[in-house]
Structure 1
Amino acid sequence: MVDPLSIIGLLGTAATLTKTVLDYACAVKNAPKEVDNLSRELTSLHGVFDLLVDVVEDEDNKQDFAEISTLYNAAGVYIFTENEGILVVLTQQTQDLVITLESLRMKLDEFSTAKGLRKAYDRMKWPIDRPDTQKVLQIIQRYTQMFQFALTIKGSKALSQVSGKATEMLSASKKLAQTQSEILSAIASIPEHQKIMDELKKLHLNVKDDRHASEDQEFFRVLSSLEFSAKQKEAYSKRHSTTGKWLLDTQNFKDWSGQENDQSAVLWCPGNPGVGKTVLTSIAVNYVSEIARDSSTAIIYLYCDYANPLTHSVKALMGSMIRQLVEQTPHTETVAQIKQLYEQNSKSRDLTADELFKGICTVSKDFDLVYAFFDALDECPEISRNLLLPWLQRYSENNARVFLTSRPNVDVKFSIPGAVRIDIAASAADITAYLESEIQKNARLSRFTARDPDLKSTIVKGIVDKADGMFLIASLQIDSLCKQTSPKQIKTLLSTLPADVFATYDNAFHRIQDQPREDADLGMKVLSLMFGATRPLGVEELRHALAVEPAATGLDTEALTDLEIILGVTAGLITTFKLKIGRSRECLFVRFVHNTLQEYLEINQAQIFPNVQRLIAETCLTYLSYDKIGSDEPSPSDVPNSRAEFLPFAEYAVRNWGVHLRRVQQELMRQALAFIQDRKKILTWIEMYGAHFCLLVDLSSDDHSSIGVHVAAFWGLTDLLTVLITPENIESRNIHGQTPLFHAANEGYDDVLKLLIGRKANVNARDARSGRTALCKAVERGHHTIIITLLEHGADINTQTSSGTTPLHRVAGKKLDTVRLLLERGARVDIVSGKHGTALHEAARIGTGALVRILLDHGTPLDMPDTLGSTPLHLAAERASDSEETLLALLRGGARLDSRDRMGRTPLHLAVDANHRGDQVKVLLQEEQRRRSDELSLRQSRSIDLPNHGPTSSSHSDSSIIQTGTSVNAQDSRGRTPLHYAYYRVSRGSYLQVDSIQGDDKVRARETVGLLLKSGASDSIVDVVGKIPSQYANLSVEDARRWKQDYSFGVSFKSAAGRLKNNQAEDIQNLSRCIDLR
Structure 2
Amino acid sequence: MDGVSVASSIAGLVTLALQVSATIAIYVNSIKERANTVRELHDELLLLGEVLSGLRDFLESEKVKGRVLDTQSVLSKAIRDCRQRMERIGDRLKPSEGGKVARAIDHLRWPFEQREVMQMVENLRRYTQTFQFAFTIEGFNLLSKTSEDATKGLQEMLLISKKMSELSAQMGRSADESSKLALQLEAIIDLVPLLARTVADVNEISQATRLAELREQERRTTEILDWLAPLSSLHKHRDLQVRRAEGTGRWFLEHPEFSRWVDDDSKHDLLGVGGPGAGKSVLCSHVVDYLRGKFQDHDVAIAFYYYDYSDQQSQNPSSFARSLLRQLSSRGEVVPSAVSEFYRRTRNAVKDQTWYHDLLNIIRRVVATFSRCFIIVDALDEADVQTQRSGFFEVIDAIRNSPGSTVKVLATLRPHVLDLMTRFHEPSTIDILANPGDIRQFLAQTIMEQPESEYLMDDKLKEHVLNTLCTNANGMFLLPALQIKTILDQITKADVRRALLHLSTDLTHAFQSTMQRIFTLPKARRDLAFRTLMWVSHARRPMTVRELQHAMALRPEDHDLDRDNLPSVKMLIDCCCGLVEVDYESSIIRLVHHSLEEYLREHDHGLFTDANLVITKICLQYMMLDSTRDLPYKNRKDFANALEDVPFLQYAALEWGHHAYSVPAEEIKDLALALLSNSTCLNTIARVRDFRSPDLRDWTNKAWAWAYSGGAGISLAAGFGLSELLKILIAENRHNLRLGVRNVYGNTALHEAAFFGHTEVAEILVANGANLLDTNYGQSTPLYLAVSYGQLEIVKLLLKYGRDQLDQPGPRGFTALHKAVEQGDEEMVSTLLQAGALVGAIDNQGTTALHLAAFRGYLSIVKLLVASGAVVHVRDKEGLCPLDYAATSGFTDVVAFLLENGGSMFHKGRERWTPLHRAARGGHTETVAFFLKRGANVLATDYKGNIPLHLAVRSGQIEAVRTLLEQNTDPDHQRAQLFVQDRKGSTPRVVAFFTAHYDIHKYLRAAEWQAQGITTPSSANRLTTAIEKGDLPSVRVLLDNNPQSLTSLDEDGQPPLHVAIQENQTRIVEFLLQRGASVESVGYHGWRALHIAASTGNLELVELCLSHGARVDTLTNTKQTALHKAASSHSVAVVRRLLSAGADPAAMNERGMTALHIAAHQNDIAIVRMLVLEHGVDVLARDRQGMTAGMWAERSAHLEVCAFLAAEARKAKQKKRSSAGEHIAGTGDTQTRDNADALALGEVRDALEGAIEDNNSNTNQPEGSVRGLIMT
TM-score (normalised: structure 2): 0.59
Contact 2:544–2:588 (CA under 8 A) maintained in structure 1:
yes
Give the letter for the 2:430 counterpart.
Answer: I
* Partner of residue 414 from structure 2, selected from 407, 416, 419: 407
Cα displacement (A) at 1:763: 2.2
Gaps of 5+ in 2: 1-61, 78-134, 157-184, 350-354, 996-1124, 1126-1148, 1163-1182, 1204-1237, 1253-1272
Contact 1:530–1:536 (CA under 8 A) maintained in structure 2:
yes
* Partner of residue 907 from structure 1, selected from 911, 915, 928: 915
Cα displacement (A) at 1:627: 0.7
In structure 1, the residue matched to 2:1139 is none
Give the letter for the 1:907 counterpart.
Answer: P
Q: Per-residue displacement from partner, 1:639-687 (whole Å, max 9, x unpaired)?
A: 2211122111122222222222333332111112222222222212212
Gaps of 5+ in 1: 1-59, 76-155, 178-184, 580-586, 929-961, 987-1001, 1060-1064
In structure 2, the residue matched to 1:27 is none
Cα displacement (A) at 1:531: 1.8
State, as a whole percentage, how many aligned pairs show the same letter. 23
* Partner of residue 699 from structure 1, selected from 697, 704, 709: 704
Distance 1:255 1:793, change over 3 A: closer
Contact 1:633–1:680 (CA under 8 A) maintained in structure 2:
no
Contact 1:873–1:890 (CA under 8 A) maintained in structure 2:
yes
Cα displacement (A) at 1:281: 2.8
Cα displacement (A) at 1:172: 15
Distance 1:1071 1:872, change over 3 A: farther
In structure 1, the residue matched to 2:668 is 668
Cα displacement (A) at 1:781: 1.9
Distance 2:302 2:393 in 1: 24
Contact 2:320–2:392 (CA under 8 A) maintained in structure 1:
no
Distance 1:554 1:432 in 2: 50
* Partner of residue 860 from structure 1, selected from 856, 861, 870: 870
In structure 2, the residue matched to 1:426 is 434
* Partner of residue 243 from structure 2, selected from 235, 238, 244: 238
Contact 2:786–2:795 (CA under 8 A) maintained in structure 1:
yes
In structure 2, the residue matched to 1:652 is 651
State how 1:185-204 maps to structure 2 within 5 Å: 201=203, 204=206
Q: Per-residue displacement from partner, 1:403-456 (whole Å, max 9, x unpaired)?
A: 4432233457534554443211013333344445555666888766549x5796
Q: Per-residue displacement from partner, 1:953-983 (whole Å, max 9, x unpaired)?
A: xxxxxxxxx3xx44x3322233322122112
Contact 1:766–1:774 (CA under 8 A) maintained in structure 2:
yes
* 2:986 is equivalent to residue 1027 of structure 1: yes
In structure 2, the residue matched to 1:792 is 800
Give the letter for the 1:658 counterpart.
Answer: G
Contact 1:240–1:433 (CA under 8 A) maintained in structure 2:
yes
Contact 2:376–2:410 (CA under 8 A) maintained in structure 1:
yes
* Partner of residue 746 from structure 1, selected from 742, 745, 755: 755
Greater CA drift, 642-651 or 287-296: 287-296
Contact 1:698–1:735 (CA under 8 A) maintained in structure 2:
yes
Distance 2:1243 2:523 in 1: 75
Contact 2:336–2:366 (CA under 8 A) maintained in structure 1:
no
In structure 2, the residue matched to 1:510 is 516
In structure 1, the residue matched to 2:82 is none
* 2:958 is equivalent to residue 1003 of structure 1: yes
Distance 1:1024 1:294 in 2: 45
Partner-residue secondary structure (3-state), 2:627: coil
In structure 2, the residue matched to 1:277 is 280
In structure 2, the residue matched to 1:358 is 365
TM-score (normalised: structure 1): 0.68
Contact 1:979–1:1012 (CA under 8 A) maintained in structure 2:
no
Greater CA drift, 1039-1048 or 650-659: 1039-1048
Distance 1:744 1:194, change over 3 A: closer
State how 1:94-133 maps to structure 2 within 5 Å: none
Distance 2:138 2:712 in 1: 69
Q: Per-residue displacement from partner, 1:773-822 (whole Å, max 9, x unpaired)?
A: 22112222222222222222235253322543221111112211111111
* Partner of residue 763 from structure 1, selected from 754, 772, 775: 772
Equivalenced residues, count: 848
Partner-residue secondary structure (3-state), 1:216: helix
* 2:130 is equivalent to residue 166 of structure 1: no
In structure 2, the residue matched to 1:937 is none
* Partner of residue 383 from structure 1, selected from 366, 378, 390: 390
Distance 1:898 1:65 in 2: 80
Contact 2:807–2:816 (CA under 8 A) maintained in structure 1:
yes
Q: Per-residue displacement from partner, 1:608-650 (whole Å, max 9, x unpaired)?
A: 4221212222222222211122126744476221112211112
* Partner of residue 826 from structure 2, selected from 816, 825, 829: 816
Partner-residue secondary structure (3-state), 1:764: coil
* 2:783 is equivalent to residue 781 of structure 1: no
In structure 2, the residue matched to 1:841 is 851
Give the letter for the 1:712 counterpart.
Answer: A
Contact 1:601–1:608 (CA under 8 A) maintained in structure 2:
no
* 2:232 is equivalent to residue 225 of structure 1: no
Distance 1:1035 1:679, change over 3 A: same
Cα displacement (A) at 1:469: 0.5
State how 1:613-1012 maps to structure 2 within 5 Å: 613-631=612-630, 634-636=633-635, 639-664=638-663, 665-691=665-691, 692=693, 694=699, 699-700=704-705, 703-725=708-730, 726-728=734-736, 729-734=738-743, 738-767=747-776, 769-801=777-809, 803-814=812-823, 815-835=825-845, 837-846=847-856, 848-879=858-889, 883-916=891-924, 919-926=926-933, 928=934, 962=935, 965-966=936-937, 968-986=938-956, 1002-1010=957-965
Partner-residue secondary structure (3-state), 1:705: coil
Distance 1:843 1:976, change over 3 A: same
In structure 2, the residue matched to 1:990 is none
Distance 1:225 1:415 in 2: 26
Contact 2:561–2:625 (CA under 8 A) maintained in structure 1:
yes
Greater CA drift, 662-671 or 246-255: 246-255
Distance 1:405 1:696, change over 3 A: farther
In structure 1, the residue matched to 2:1054 is none
Contact 2:817–2:837 (CA under 8 A) maintained in structure 1:
yes
State how 1:66-81 maps to structure 2 within 5 Å: none
Distance 1:417 1:830, change over 3 A: closer
Cα displacement (A) at 1:296: 7.9
In structure 2, the residue matched to 1:207 is 209
Contact 2:675–2:682 (CA under 8 A) maintained in structure 1:
yes
Distance 2:608 2:797 in 1: 35
Distance 1:800 1:208, change over 3 A: same
Contact 2:73–2:147 (CA under 8 A) maintained in structure 1:
no
Q: Per-residue displacement from partner, 1:96-150 (whole Å, max 9, x unpaired)?
A: xxxxxxxxxxxxxxxxxxxxxxxxxxxxxxxxxxxxxxxxxxxxxxxxxxxxxxx
Distance 1:848 1:491 in 2: 69
Distance 1:270 1:837, change over 3 A: same
Q: Per-residue displacement from partner, 1:65-96 (whole Å, max 9, x unpaired)?
A: 99869989x99xxxxxxxxxxxxxxxxxxxxx
* Partner of residue 531 from structure 1, selected from 531, 537, 541: 537
Cα displacement (A) at 1:715: 2.7
Partner-residue secondary structure (3-state), 1:234: helix
Q: Per-residue displacement from partner, 1:997-1026 (whole Å, max 9, x unpaired)?
A: xxxxx4345435435765857425443434
Distance 1:320 1:863, change over 3 A: same
Distance 1:1007 1:191, change over 3 A: same
Distance 2:813 2:254 in 1: 65
| Cα RMSD for the two superposed structures | 4.8
Distance 1:612 1:830 in 2: 53
